Structure 1
């Protein structure tokens, strides 16, 4: 079967796309300040005809604006750029050369796909009635980079976008398959930190102390019970305590115990209720054990909500470019979080997953995103390039 012309053009760019992806993979950077990554993106975009490029004031962002041959609205495409704090154990020939840092979530692929999409779109400016904003974003991994770029004016640099799209590769989705759904796509996230304070003493005489460890353990159980009793099963939430520490040795009851965890929701109403209930459970469970609790809830990303029209557009585009079976219905949202939610709160758009499971591996058993062993199939990069460019071309087709 003859490939779609846009996919064929993206495939011609594949060597360049892969080269950029691997260069970024070797030298990952974390957070909002990514000077080496920013320089690599600027160098890659320097010879793209008609592209106006600027950098951020508050972070190492890059924004490209491509103006079509005719006037019209603005469309935004995003690629996030930052890495994660973990060592790489993939054995790849282009593995990270930075100790304790790895592109374990595929953001290097996102940058490379967006840069090559810029080339495809530049070559087709006469087919664009409007402008394309290319949003190269640092700080997605917990640093609120999208919010920072919005504060820096990315949504106003070329007129408020009428639609937006971000693609995210996934190692546990079959290669080339597109997963996207209308409405809540990904969860909100908040961080829970609790310090339970009692009275220390000898472990042989717990009656003469106030044991914060027991209170902390009871709190974990009470939180799990609370979710099932206070939160509707039709608007789900997750509370996970993933970090617990207390004391210094086996025969001393410490004065304090500490909990850390995460809260995930699919609606802002349930998020508000969950925060209230978590605080109540922590305070009163500690009090029932004669202890006190200090509860800190650190707000994270909001719910990622996809626009139904944009979702339908992306699904139709995927089927056209990649085949009729490439965009099966996605029944359930993902309880992970995404700061593209900040963009989607202001612009109708979609976050979509692009399957990149490595060849010869069952996606269900592949090392997942954020694993120190995750591997992505680079063959899918051309599909991502074509999807990003095709979305902008469709949204800005002359009417």
Structure 2
């Protein structure tokens, strides 16, 4: 492991400060497109460290730019800042002060890691070129997200990046272990909103109704056949009914039932097939019960596709930093989705996973917490990756 570039120990002197920032952000979570205070904290720190900071990109997003040397090469590194609408149940001393809002996905940690790299890069400047540190809002939006909005605001035109890199923590894998996969790594995710419209009646006179609840309940089971009987068994797809609501009283057959689906896939042709089959099944199923259906099919994030060369480069950096025994490559595809995929559609790059601890609560869980041991690990990784990518010739 070369000591010419950043080591984890190089950040030991600022670990307490970085953990403090992480816990402050955790304690004051802000939902998608509400990240005003978080963005202000991040921008003020970056400006104190000598970065040129451009605010309000794609909402509350910001880009911090630092130049060294004379090279025209450039790199982008991204962290997300938003929290989730979950009531925290960790009992931690720094638990969320905002009821119903929580950093249950570790974006507080992602932000702290990139801030740590920003600090180290500013005080060492062992690179030749331009660094664009991208702090993104609204990753959790599901659609019309922060990445899309930043791109619409001309992100890469205003802040050129030869390559783009991002990272997400991964509970269930030992802390400080890095995971890589070239090609399709994370799934496309679509949301389907369905309304089954029937005819309400007294519960004692079901023959006078068109019961939307019966139709919706049957539809839940029918939807389970979309993947098992339509998608090639060698492909990966998920159709999950996550929400079903109908009625308010036991003695009333309601007028309508509403349900929402999450649909995941890894190939465009599978994504198209899923939409075709879901639409056809919903309409015909409702009709078979004498009801009718309204469908809103919302295309969410695309498949996240890591480029080959940048993924191999990112893997090499991790191996240099933590050793080959803490690398998993290739790691299996992940059915979760991530709007970093939009950046990778426009620039080559790699989205990395880092272990958050074996046996720890999963993401989007009310008991989840980011592992503070990863703050300096991630900061050192980003620092070394920038130093190596923009290595002086």
Name the TM-score, length of structure 1 as normaliser: 0.93
Following the alignment from structure 1 to structure 2, what is the Cα–Cα distance between the partners of residues 260 and 5?
Answer: 47
Following the alignment from structure 1 to structure 2, what is the Cα–Cα distance between the partners of residues 380 and 34?
Answer: 23
Partner of 1:64: 64
Partner of 1:384: 378
Question: CA 1:283/1:348 → structure 2, altered by over 3 Å: closer, same or farther?
Answer: same
Following the alignment from structure 1 to structure 2, what is the Cα–Cα distance between the partners of residues 269 and 121?
Answer: 43
Cα offset for 1:5? 4.5
Contact 1:131 1:158 in 2 (8 A): no
Contact 1:171 1:375 in 2 (8 A): no
Unaligned regions of 5+ residues in structure 1, if any?
358-362
Cα offset for 1:175? 0.5
Following the alignment from structure 1 to structure 2, what is the Cα–Cα distance between the partners of residues 270 and 383?
Answer: 37
Partner of 2:43: 42
Following the alignment from structure 2 to structure 1, what is the Cα–Cα distance between the partners of residues 242 and 74?
Answer: 42
Following the alignment from structure 1 to structure 2, what is the Cα–Cα distance between the partners of residues 66 and 58?
Answer: 21
Partner of 2:360: 366
Cα offset for 1:117? 0.6
C-alpha RMSD of the superposition:
1.8
Corresponding residue SS for 1:386: helix
Question: CA 1:239/1:150 → structure 2, altered by over 3 Å: closer, same or farther?
Answer: same
Question: CA 1:324/1:225 → structure 2, altered by over 3 Å: closer, same or farther?
Answer: same
Unaligned regions of 5+ residues in structure 2, if any?
none
Alignment of 1:217-256 (within 5 A): 217-256=217-256
Contact 1:194 1:259 in 2 (8 A): yes
Partner of 1:17: 18
Cα offset for 1:171? 2.7
Partner of 1:133: 132
Following the alignment from structure 2 to structure 1, what is the Cα–Cα distance between the partners of residues 349 and 133?
Answer: 14
Contact 1:76 1:165 in 2 (8 A): yes
Following the alignment from structure 1 to structure 2, what is the Cα–Cα distance between the partners of residues 5 and 211?
Answer: 65
Cα offset for 1:2? 11
Alignment of 1:68-83 (within 5 A): 68-83=68-83
Cα offset for 1:73? 1.8
Partner of 2:170: 170
How many residues are aligned here?
390
Question: CA 1:221/1:320 → structure 2, altered by over 3 Å: closer, same or farther?
Answer: same
Contact 1:187 1:303 in 2 (8 A): yes
Name the TM-score, length of structure 2 as normaliser: 0.94
Corresponding residue SS for 2:224: helix
Contact 2:116 2:375 in 1 (8 A): no
Partner of 1:360: none
Corresponding residue SS for 1:65: strand
Contact 1:164 1:350 in 2 (8 A): yes
